[in-house]
Amino acid sequence: MTEPETGALFDADLQQAISRRAAPRRPGPVSNATMFGWRALLKIKHVPEQLFDVVVTPIMFTVMFTYLFGGALAGSTIDYLQFLLPGILAQTVIFTTIYTGVTLNTDISKGIYDRFKSMPIWGPSPLVGAMLGDFLRYTGSSIIVVLIGLLMGFRPEAGLAGVLYSMVLLNVFAFGIGWIFTTLGLLMRTPGTVMTISWIVLMPLTFASNVFVDPATMPGWLQAVVNANPVSHLVSAIRELMAGTATLSGLLLALALPAFITVVFAPLAMVLYRRPR
């Protein structure tokens, strides 16, 4: 091939490389967050042991508390299950939110998020996407608790609609609470530390509530603590949804905490995410 012919081919390749065609549109925030949500689901696919707590813990708590305490507290395991299951549903999903911070901290310790910060994407998308992916955990935990409850004799008076509305409320609540553990995941040095601090926060929050017993049986000072506990408001709202007696004021009270947490901790998490490490 002669030199002019070689030059012509080179010029043609160059023209094609610098084509004036419009560049593809950059994906927007929704596309970015959705992609990182898909990444979170793929992590579960490749590390299925992450689902252990999502599957085993709901079964263990539902069965154990119903048959151990049902007869003593309510005189009947079926009667106690009607009271208990909405509380176990809330407790299970709230416990699941811990893994938001743990998995985030694990990724950060491997340097993956340093790469994300250098990419031309919507800044919060790695965090928001990871939390969207966690909706699978929340929904999976909820479905398992409800199915186990139905097998044991639980019957929601509001039927399927009440159960679905309860799951939506739980997912919204968990998304808000998850910002706390996202912040912890960005602050702490190891996943183990995130896990330990998270349990220290959640254990008293869930057990000092109306999940297991009616606060009316408690001392006056403890009733005040339980009635002020946001978990109690969430559990009460779920019980009302499943009974078909939900009120707007009860739902707004249950959503007040996750709304407040999102307003405070979401910006804080982004500041911590952007800081140099």
Terminal-residue alpha carbon distance, the chain: 55
DSSP, residue by residue, the chain: --HHHHHHHHHHHHHHHT--SPPPPPP-HHHHHHHHHHHHHHHHHH-GGGGHHHHHHHHHHHHHHHHHHHHHHHSSHHHHHHHHHHHHHHHHHHHHTHHHHHHHHHHHHTTHHHHHHTSSS-TTHHHHHHHHHTHHHHHHHHHHHHHHHHHHT---TTHHHHHHHHHHHHHHHHHHHHHHHHHHHHH-SSHHHHHHHHHHHHHHHHHSSSSSS-GGGS-HHHHHHHHH-HHHHHHHHHHHHHHT---HHHHHHHHHHHHHHHHHHHHHHHHHHHS--
Q: What is the mean pLDDT of residues 37-66?
A: 77
On the question of pLDDT at 13 being above 70, the answer is no
Residue whose pair of structure tokens reads 């176990």 in the numeric block: 88
Cβ(97)–Cβ(133) below 8 Å = no
Report the candidate in 185, 103, 180 with the shortest Cα–Cα distance to residue 137. Answer: 103
Residues whose CB falls within 8 Å of the CB of residue 81, separated by 6 or more in sequence, listed in order? 66, 70, 149, 152, 153, 154
Domain-wise residue ranges, the chain = 28-274
Residues whose CB falls within 8 Å of the CB of residue 32, separated by 6 or more in sequence, listed in order? 121, 122, 125, 129
Q: What are phi and psi of 112, to 5 degrees?
A: -65, -40
What pLDDT score does 113 carry?
77
The pTM for the full model equals: 0.82
The model's pLDDT over 29-48, given as tens digits with 9 standing for 90+, comes to 778 888 888 887 777 776 66
Strongest mean pLDDT among 130-139, 180-189, 235-244:
235-244
CA atoms lying within 13 Å on the CB side of residue 174: 30
Query: How many angstroms separate the CA atoms of 27 and 47, rounded?
Result: 28
What pLDDT score does 277 carry?
61
Q: What is the mean pLDDT of residues 70-74?
A: 79
Q: What is the mean pLDDT of residues 225-252?
A: 92
Other CB atoms within 10 Å distance of the CB of residue 215:
17
What pLDDT score does 7 carry?
47
